[in-house]
Amino acid sequence: MSDQYKLYGYRWVVLAVFMFINLTIQMLWIAYAPITGPAAAFYGVSDWWIGLLAMTFMIAFIPLSIPVSWVIDTYGFRLAVSIGAVLMAVFGVLRGLAGANYNLVLWSTVGIAVAQPFLLNAWTTVPAKWFPVDFRATAVGLVTLANLVGTALGMVLTPVLIESMSIPGVQLLYGGITAFSSVLFLLLVREEPPTPACPPGQETRALMLDGLKHALKIKPFWLYLVISFIGLGIFNGINTWVENIIRPRGFTPTDAGTLGALMIAGGLVGAVVLPTLSDKLHKRQPFLMLAFAGAIPGLLGLTFAASEWLLFGSAVLLGFFLVSAMPIGMQYAAEITYPTPEGTSNGLIQLFGQGAVVFVSIMEAMKSSDGSFTPSLLLAVGLLVVSTGLITQMKDPQ
């Protein structure tokens, strides 16, 4: 190893704490989704107002993404993520202290949502400061894994906890865990190691204007932005309305939590298996097509399943294919937009993904008079078919 650059064991502390803080904010995001019905009754509002608590995160991300990326690029990730950490800790605890006051819960959620871009947009910056170039994609994958685990924990634990605790009590517990993760970040994380973790020229710079302009001139990149909008819209929509989707068929909030967790569990397996095969064969486009086409049977099962085994099996199948599309697509985007920095292409993908809040709103608006989400789920199936067709126009880079 050269005297000019060196790998430090402390990089694992930095990555672990960053993963933990990303995990906890996902718990705050999804905490109301599996208990939409009970929460609506507790606060005296409609299901839509409970769904808005999850949608707020996506809405806030859209105007804040580029300014927050500028803060990270200009002042460093430690200051930026610290801002997000303090915001989510303070408002996470406040949401737990809000009692039955829905307005205070909503405004506290807005505060947490403002914090989220400070965490998500640093995903590529943290590995760039602490890890060599040949491990950065893996490090970003580990942060993605932490996000998914946080979502799964929020899905599974919330319906179980409200059987013995009040809804504000559960939120206060989550807020306390979040505050703990924030304190760990403030105390333990450093901006960069004493010496660089890579040779000169391999540092990552985020959101360079020239790179942004270059990426937006590439047709396959635009096609991927469209299919990522569809894929993340379906994923976020199902997670947001999970309890409402299965309630008309007689399933419980606990079933909703299990469904959400199994979908993410399938996604965790898929996000390891399919990207690994994609790397081994040096192919992206065929695996993107497999991911979107493979998700169709799972979504159809989720739409019509009347038994637990079919519902949960469909959730695993849907998660396996739909979630695995993201890491493959992120790498595809980085390759076809070269020399645009990964942070730029990934940031645009995140921005389009959060913009999928439009589809989340449409899902609720399309539900039938008996509360069924079948019309919007069939629309989602159609969009997966369209996405598969678009992928045929996305050729692998030479």
CATH of the domain at 213: 1.20.1250.20
Q: Is the dihedral of CA 132, 26, 115, 242 positive or negative?
A: positive
Among candidate residues 89, 99, 114, the one with its CA nearest the CA of residue 24: 89
- Do residues 161 and 244 both lie within one domain? no
pLDDT attached to residue 192: 78
pLDDT attached to residue 133: 66
What is the reported pTM? 0.77
Report the number of distinct structural domains present in the chain.
2
Extract the tokens encoding 373: 């989400």
- Do residues 285 and 366 both lie within one domain? yes
Looking at residue 198, what DSSP letter applies? S
- Do residues 237 and 175 both lie within one domain? no
Q: Nearest 5°: phi and psi at 188?
A: -105, -25
- Do residues 102 and 16 both lie within one domain? yes
Q: Which residues touch 307 (CB under 8 Å, ≥6 apart)?
A: none
- Do residues 173 and 316 both lie within one domain? no
- Do residues 263 and 318 both lie within one domain? yes
What proportion of the chain, given as a percentage, has pLDDT over 90? 44
* Domain end point (choices 150, 175, 203): 203
* Domain end point (choices 203, 235, 256): 203
Residue 364 has pLDDT above 90, yes or no: no
288 vs 128: which has the higher pLDDT: 288
Report the alpha-carbon distance of residue 172 to residue 182 in Å, rounded.
15
- Do residues 109 and 232 both lie within one domain? no
pLDDT attached to residue 270: 86
- Do residues 316 and 231 both lie within one domain? yes
The residue-averaged pLDDT of 326-340 equals: 78
120 vs 101: which has the higher pLDDT: 101
How many beta carbons lie within 10 A of that of residue 197, not counting itself? Answer: 22
Residue 366 has pLDDT above 80, yes or no: yes
Report the alpha-carbon distance of residue 233 to residue 359 in Å, rounded.
6
Report the alpha-carbon distance of residue 109 to residue 377 in Å, rounded.
27
- Do residues 255 and 392 both lie within one domain? yes
pLDDT in tens, 164-173: 999 999 999 9
Report the alpha-carbon distance of residue 266 to residue 318 in Å, rounded.
8
- Do residues 196 and 308 both lie within one domain? no
pLDDT attached to residue 137: 63
Extract the tokens encoding 398: 């030479």
Lowest mean pLDDT among 23-32, 44-53, 127-136, 314-323: 127-136
pLDDT attached to residue 196: 63
Extract the tokens encoding 37: 């019905």
Residue 193 has pLDDT above 80, yes or no: no
Residue 90 has pLDDT above 90, yes or no: yes
8 Å CB contact between 120 and 61: yes
240 vs 245: which has the higher pLDDT: 245
Q: Is the dihedral of CA 191, 341, 231, 217 positive or negative?
A: positive
Q: Nearest 5°: phi and psi at 138?
A: -65, -40
pLDDT attached to residue 206: 44
Among candidate residues 93, 62, 94, 67, the one with its CA nearest the CA of residue 80: 67
Place 84 in a pLDDT band, splitting at 50, 70 and 90.
Answer: very high
Q: Which residues touch 16 (CB under 8 Å, ≥6 apart)?
A: none
pLDDT attached to residue 2: 47
* Domain end point (choices 149, 182, 203): 203
pLDDT attached to residue 102: 95
Lowest mean pLDDT among 92-96, 139-143, 215-219, 231-235: 139-143
Q: What's the distance, CA 370 to chain centroid?
A: 30
pLDDT attached to residue 288: 92
Report the alpha-carbon distance of residue 390 to residue 111 in Å, rounded.
37
Torsion of CA 238, 302, 314, 357, to 10 degrees: -20
321 vs 143: which has the higher pLDDT: 321
Residue 111 has pLDDT above 50, yes or no: yes
Burial of 187 (0-12, 13-18, 19+ CB in 10 A): exposed
- Which residues constitute the domain of residue 184? 1-203
46 vs 133: which has the higher pLDDT: 46
Extract the tokens encoding 268: 């965790």
Residue 132 has pLDDT above 80, yes or no: no
- Do residues 166 and 312 both lie within one domain? no
- Do residues 170 and 212 both lie within one domain? no
pLDDT in tens, 26-59: 999 989 988 988 999 999 999 889 989 988 998 8
SS3 251: coil
End-to-end, the C-alpha distance of the chain in Å comes to 32
